[in-house]
Structure formats: structure tokens, C-alpha cells
Structure 1
Amino acid sequence: MSKFGIIVDIDKCVGCHACAIACKEENQVAPGIFYERVHRSENVAANVVNYFRVSCMHCDNPACMKVCPAKAISKGPAGEVLVDAKKCIGCKMCLSACPYGAPQFNTEGRTSYFGDKVPLAERPLEAWQHHPAGKAEHCTLCTHRTSKGGIPACVEVCGIGALTFVDYENPTEAAKALIAKARPMNAAAGTEPKIRYIAKHMEVETFEPKV
């Protein structure tokens, strides 16, 4: 059994947004919707500016799944937190419960940046690229890729190695070292995220600058 996640090395990230754009293209999400957001934090004392991606954390104990009245949220085969758009009723209780603000909602129903006559993608959409308006959606950890032995699009395009795709149940030797150093964001929430962070100049659990 696998349990997938991503280790984010904040000390390497330069805030280029390649991960966020790759995710948007991979999933063909609507205007204004970003499954990944790149955040910025400055440590004035150390004269360091930190950048880091934030998305669905694919928690082992997801708060969203507990509160969903439609039972639209479940875990995938490798622990991915997934939303069934057919079941979702758009109540946004998942967004209220999520400590990371991960669920996104295309409430306007827009599918194009260029007007109603031009689709978001000229090619036919793949199954994972259909996003009904008003339904919860977020990072799926690219389960359509990982289920076939691939890696998430964001990890693939990160040219400086700030993102590492890991299997917590079957880690490589290199992954073991990263996992040992990585910490979850907002650990106090108790959701046990599988997206974790390494940083020299930030307190990862609170994302406050280290003194």
C-alpha cells in the first residue's frame, strides 16, 4: 500500500509560480481558480524572503471529509483526498472546515478567459478536467498520473528541486532524509497533512519567521 505526498523545500523555492501554472494547465481549471497558491513570507532579521506552495494537504485525517453532508469526499488508493462532483452539493462546509483554505468553487461558471464563444481548451477535455460550476474542487495530487506510475505536474516542472514526490509507506533513501526533516503546516489542527515543509528561516508549523 502506498501513501503519497509532497515535500516542499522552502529554502530552494524562488517563487517562480511554475508549479501553480503547471497545475492550472494540467487540470484546465476555470479563470480565477488555482489549486496551488504560492505564498510569501519575509524574515526581516535574517534578510530572507521565503516562497512556498499551498494546496490541498491530502490529510490522513481530513477535516473536510468529516463535515461533508453529501459524503462527496473520500480518499483515493494512495491516500489522496478526492471530491466526487456528482455528489457535491456546493454547500462549502468543506471550505469552512479546511485549515488550509484548499477547496475552490467556480461559482460564476466561467470556462474561458476570452468570452463565451471560446472554450478554455481547444482540445477535448480529459475526464479529470471536467469541473461543474459551483462544486468543490482542489488538488488531486494528480492521481490520474500517479496511478500510472507518474508524478504530479507541479513536481515535474519544478526545475530547482524544491518539490519532491514521496511515498511515505515505501520511501527511497533520499526521501527518508527529507521526510525526517519535513514538518506539517498548522500541525495543531490535527489533520495530519501529507504535504510537508522544510525551512531554515521559518517555523513551519506556524509559518512565522524564526528569530
Structure 2
Amino acid sequence: MGDTTKKERRKFLDKGLKVGIAAALGGFGISKITSKLNANSKSDSGEKIELMTTDGTLIEIDSSEVVEVQHSEDHDKKYNVREGMPHRKFVMVIDLAKCKNALKCQQSCNKHHYITGDNAWLKVYKMQESKDTAPYWMPTTCMHCDQPACVTVCPVDATFKRKDGLVLIDNERCIGCRFCMAACPYSTRVFNWSEPKQEFTLDMDMLEHQYSPEHGGMPSVKGTVDKCDFCPHQVKNNELPHCVTACPNGVFYFGDKYEDTVTNGEETLRLSKLLEDKAGYRLLENLGTEPNVYYLPPVDRLVDFEDGLEQFTEFQSVEKPTEE
């Protein structure tokens, strides 16, 4: 995006603030405006603006009653953990033809997020359409949907979606209701029923940092939900997620949809051409969740199929463990 385009966009946003101020302030903003109206403010510019109240009622007020917020020049460039990285849209492509269940992706994810195999965020399943078709391995992660059902049902705003495409969980807000797990059609979330048994040495320097939903290396918390986060702590530093760099077969591609490029660390490809040439698809398209994880069909496989770890040899739903 050029400087001219950014300036025009900023002008548009500044003008839009007057119209959108009610939405930004919510009921509080409307109550302040209506109270000013009731007080019969002496200043009157003669210019009227229509605003919608929180109950859907249109009201007409004088433009002088709306305070225009002045932003700094770099306002739209500043980073916020709940907003994400400006002008970015992260996507992942998983090439099923290359996966041989090496599980290096899962091991690296577990190590850098201090999670156990039982609660792994990334799982690899043995898939087979029928007894007459060849089996293949299918890695699964959070789909980071554009229309995430998990965000809609969360009653405490613990699960949220960023503008850069990442769906994250704030474990300090999570109350363990598991509504998000019930709403997710991909069954990619896990619940910490007990204190996690750490298999890796904790990074004490990391533990001294103030908690943030995007910090990697923070231990799981009992009574909260976890899931794949696309490694935002890596992405923010222009580095690839751990699963991408750990895979020895180049299965995972990660990139920016706006730039139309993805890479597995070894090769960088045009996203749109890759999906078109190899018939890329997304899981459960008919649900309208619009996931940001794409799959390439397991055709012309580059590796022989070999059985891997026994616990991941078939697709099965996650059952609630017996509580002690």
C-alpha cells in the first residue's frame, strides 16, 4: 500500500469517526450525547448527523455534539495484541502429499509452548477414504477462521479474533466453560483438566514477562482452554511458526494472504497459484467459517506411507477424561 493510499485511508477514517463514534463508545457515548441534547447545548453548527443508539433507534444530533478524536500520524501502524499486525492476513497451507507423520512439527510445538503430548495443539491423523483407497497422514491445527464460532459463543471475550487473521485465547479471562470447544466444528481445542505435567525445562526469563495471549512459552493453566495460536510471538518478529521450521518434509507453508505469498522455509510460492494448480481446499467449507488453513490433496505423494505413533493412527473425537 503506497503512502498516498495510506493518507487517503487515514482521511477517510478520520471523517468516519464522527459517524462511527456512537458505535465506538457504545451506550456510554449515546447517553452522553443525549444528555447534552437534553441540556440544550448553546453551540449549534447547523449541521445534523444521524446516529444509531444501542437499541437500534436512529437519532439526529448537531455535529458539534460529537467530539472528533484526533489520532497521531502513526495511529494505524501501532501494534495491539488484540488488533494484531496492521495490513497483514496470515494463512497456512498444508501439503498432504508430503506428510509422512514424522511428528517433528508436534514435538517442536509442544517444546516451545510447554504442552504435553496428550494436550498437543497439533495432531496428525491417519486418514483413509475407504478400504480401496490409499491412506495418508493429515496434520490438524486451529483453522483461525474469518467467521469463528468460538469467538461468538465466548461469554467473557477470552477468545478473540485479530484483524491479521489470528484467533487467540486470553487465559486470564478464560473461565473454563468450554462453550468454544462445543462450538468449534474442527475439534482442535483442548481443555486443561489438571495441572499440566511439563515435559520440558521452563524458560525462566520468559516466565518473568507479563502475561500476554500472544507470548509463546507460557505454561498451560488448569481449568482453561488451549489451542494452536500460529505462534504470534514468532510472526511478530518476522519468523515462521515452529511447526513450519521443524518439519523435515516441507509440509507446512505459512504466509500473508494480502501479499499472496507463502513459504515453508525452503521455497516461497504464490499462494493463489499454488491453490489453483494443486486444487487447494478448506475443511467444512459449507459451514461458512472461512478458515485460513488450506489443504493440498494427497495426490502424487512424494513419500511412502508408513505407520507412525500408535496413538495417532486413526481419527477419533476427544473424550472427557475421568475426573479424579
TM-score by length of 1: 0.85
Equivalent residue runs for 1:17-36 within 5 Å: 17-30=103-116, 32-36=118-122
Structure-2 change in CA distance of 1:85 and 1:122 (3 Å): closer
Matches within 5 A, 1:87-166: 87-113=173-199, 120-124=200-204, 126=206, 127-130=215-218, 131-166=220-255
Deviation at 1:8, TM superposition (A): 0.6
- One-letter amino acid of the structure 2 residue matched with residue 109 of structure 1: E
**Does residue 176 in structure 1 map to residue 264 in structure 2?**
no
The change in CA–CA distance for 1:125 and 1:198 in structure 2 (over 3 A counts) is: farther
Given that 1:30 and 1:106 are in contact with CA atoms closer than 8 Å, whether structure 2 keeps it comes out as no
One-letter amino acid of the counterpart of residue 175, structure 1: L
Deviation at 1:200, TM superposition (A): 4.4
Unaligned runs of 5+ in 1: 114-119, 202-211
Moved more, 153-162 or 138-147: 153-162
In terms of fraction of residues, the more helix-rich structure is 2
Provide runs of 4+ in structure 1 moved above 6 Å. none
Instruction: Give per-residue Cα distances to partners, 1:77-117, cap 9 Å, x unaligned.
Output: 5210000111110000000000111121111113335xxxx
Distance 2:110 2:202 in 1: 15
CA distance in 2, matches of 1:17, 1:190: 30
User: 2: distance between equivalents of 1:106 and 1:160?
Assistant: 31
For the residue of structure 1 that corresponds to 2:253, the secondary structure is strand
Counterparts of 2:135 and 2:116, CA distance in 1: 30
Q: Distance in 2 between matches of 1:158 and 1:30?
A: 19
**Quick one: structure 1 residues 19 and 165, their matched pair in 2 at CA, closer, same or farther if it must change by over 3 Å?**
same
**Which residue is equivalent to 2:160?**
74
In 1, distance between residues paired with 2:202 and 2:247?
A: 26
Instruction: Mark the CA change 1:75 to 1:125 in structure 2 (over 3 Å): closer, same or farther.
Output: farther
- CA shift for structure 1 position 175: 2.4
Residue number in structure 2 paired with 1:204: none
Letter in 2 for 1:121: T
Would the aligned equivalents of 1:37 and 1:55 in 2 still touch at CA under 8 Å?
yes
| 8 Å CA contact retained: 2:105, 2:242 | yes
Alignment partners' CA distance in 2, 1:63 and 1:105: 17
CA distance in 1, matches of 2:145, 2:286: 13
Change (3 A) 1:174 1:8: same
Tell me the matched-pair count. Answer: 194
Q: Which has the higher contact order (CA 8 A, sep 6+)?
A: 1
Query: Would the aligned equivalents of 1:31 and 1:112 in 2 still touch at CA under 8 Å?
Result: no
